[in-house]
Structure 1
Amino acid sequence: MITEFLLKKKLEEQLSHVKEENTIYVTDLVKCPRKVKYESEYKELAISQVYAPSAILGDILHLGLENLLKKNFTAEAEVETQREIQVEGRVYKIKGKADAIIKNSSGESIIIEIKTSRSDKGLPLIHHKMQLQIYLWLFNTKKGILIYITPDRIAEYEINEPLDEATIVRLAEDTVTLRNSPRFNWECKYCIFSVICPAKLT
């Protein structure tokens, strides 16, 4: 009963998501551009990932921590915003949803990005740091906290330097043109689309 509910809810969320035209999500900017393309073209493969227990565990941990932040820090959760940039002569929306936003004693906004991981090696991971830096740019603030929940530890890292717009434009250009696929050498190892990808690293 509960298992069926969790899987059904996760599947409904995946199927209800429709990507808007000329829109690039923050998460698109920190992953392989070909994966972004294939997620739209090969939805059947993308859907298969929703049943991974690790993905459901991550969702539940996010939800639990977001609720704790709302109760104890009067945080806003799942806050969405967007900004426009020019890419290859066209206007694109950069769209993102912060896990939570809290205010410090000075009234400044602090973006909270929640991550779960099977390992605590190499934290903070570069693509997670970049993601939070993009959120800082997107929400026009300079303070962020990247918090990890792993089987071995809970750790938080302050990130106080937004990514500059020129770098964000370059990342968006990569996404649109499929340059720098993959962005990171390890991505192919975990990618469901590697079975069809000509850019796969062996």
Structure 2
Amino acid sequence: MGNIEEFGKRLENLLKYGNIRGPKRTIRVTSVSFCPLRAALTTRYDVRFFGEKNKEKILGQVLHMGLLGLIKDSWPYLQGDIEANPEIEKEVSYDLGEGWLLTGRIDLVIGEHVFEFKFFSEFSYEKIPENLSDVEEDSVLNAYTEQLNAYLNMLPDAEFGHLWIFRHNELIPWKKLEIKKDSKAFKAFLKRARGIIELIESIENGEFPKDPKLRFNWECKRCIFRSICAK
């Protein structure tokens, strides 16, 4: 009888949601770029905010919101000959299958152009190279550029990516970097996202990874899960 009940549940989910799992579950683009175990735990337990307040982070968020508001309010003065209307904090998604969605919120979309604005608090101007191929392996820039590339690939009409780097306490950009759309890199990004799904399923089955693989060496110092992590 149990098997039939389970079959009925899967069939109902398939009819209602288009997959046997039920409602779509989401993984954020911004989570995929960092430690997969942290992404899995954050997604599984829906951790939105935890731990000590970070004044620099809060300030960065306020400036970020102010910048987007300025663009919206000043668009008649900014647009010039641009015919496309700006889309601010545009929600995007990509179906990973099996009831999972990769989701994100793009800062600004203008036609074929996608903009992401990042506020740095501890990276000096000199550490941001002119050429992205010179970026050090442990630099957070690698996460930001691949996130922007993911957005470019999630929007079929997008072709050009623009990453603007700001100081954490001002609205004057340090650097403006152009990102090329890379479908091969996006496939690697999707593979990492599906790896996070596998971790979530392992956790739900009572299996906690004994040797989590880090993305960046500096992540552990700031991680809210460090007290329960094998690292």
Please tell me the residue identity of whatever aligns with 2:38.
Answer: K
1:192 shift after superposition: 2.1
Quick one: which of 32, 43, 47 aligns to 1:29? Answer: 32
Correspondence for 2:159: 142
Q: What is the TM-score of this pair, normalised by structure 1?
A: 0.73
Say whether 1:115 aligns with 2:125: no
1:162 shift after superposition: 3.4
Q: Secondary structure at the match of 2:147?
A: helix
Equivalent pairs: percent with the same residue? 28
**Root-mean-square deviation (CA), in Å?**
2.6
Say whether the 8 Å CA contact 1:130–1:163 is kept in structure 2.
no
Please give the alpha-carbon distance, in whole angstroms, between the structure 1 residues aligned to 2:94 and 2:46.
28
Correspondence for 1:126: 142
Superposed, 1:1-202 pairs within 5 Å as: 21-39=24-42, 40-41=44-45, 43=47, 46-49=49-52, 51-70=53-72, 71=74, 72-73=78-79, 75-86=86-97, 90-103=98-111, 109-118=112-121, 119-120=123-124, 122-123=127-128, 125-140=141-156, 141-150=158-167, 154-164=174-184, 165-178=186-199, 181-198=213-230, 200=231
| Distance 1:157-1:172 versus aligned 2 partners, 3 A rule | same
Please give the alpha-carbon distance, in whole angstroms, between the structure 1 residues aligned to 2:179 and 2:28.
20
1:166 shift after superposition: 2.5
Please tell me the residue identity of whatever aligns with 1:93.
Answer: L
Please tell me the residue identity of whatever aligns with 1:167.
Answer: A
Name stretches of at least 5 consecutive residues in structure 2 with no aligned partner.
Answer: 1-22, 80-84, 133-140, 200-208
| Distance 1:146-1:182 versus aligned 2 partners, 3 A rule | same
| Distance 1:197-1:58 versus aligned 2 partners, 3 A rule | same
Say whether the 8 Å CA contact 2:50–2:224 is kept in structure 1.
no
Please tell me the residue identity of whatever aligns with 1:68.
Answer: L
Question: Of the two, which has the highest radius of gyration?
Answer: 2
1:155 shift after superposition: 1.1
Please give the alpha-carbon distance, in whole angstroms, between the structure 2 residues aligned to 1:33 and 1:114.
24
| Distance 1:163-1:187 versus aligned 2 partners, 3 A rule | farther
| Distance 1:116-1:163 versus aligned 2 partners, 3 A rule | farther
Number of residue equivalences = 170
Please tell me the residue identity of whatever aligns with 2:65.
Answer: L
Q: Secondary structure at the match of 1:99?
A: strand
Q: Which runs of 4+ in 1 moved over 6 A?
A: none
Name stretches of at least 5 consecutive residues in structure 1 with no aligned partner.
Answer: 1-19, 104-108
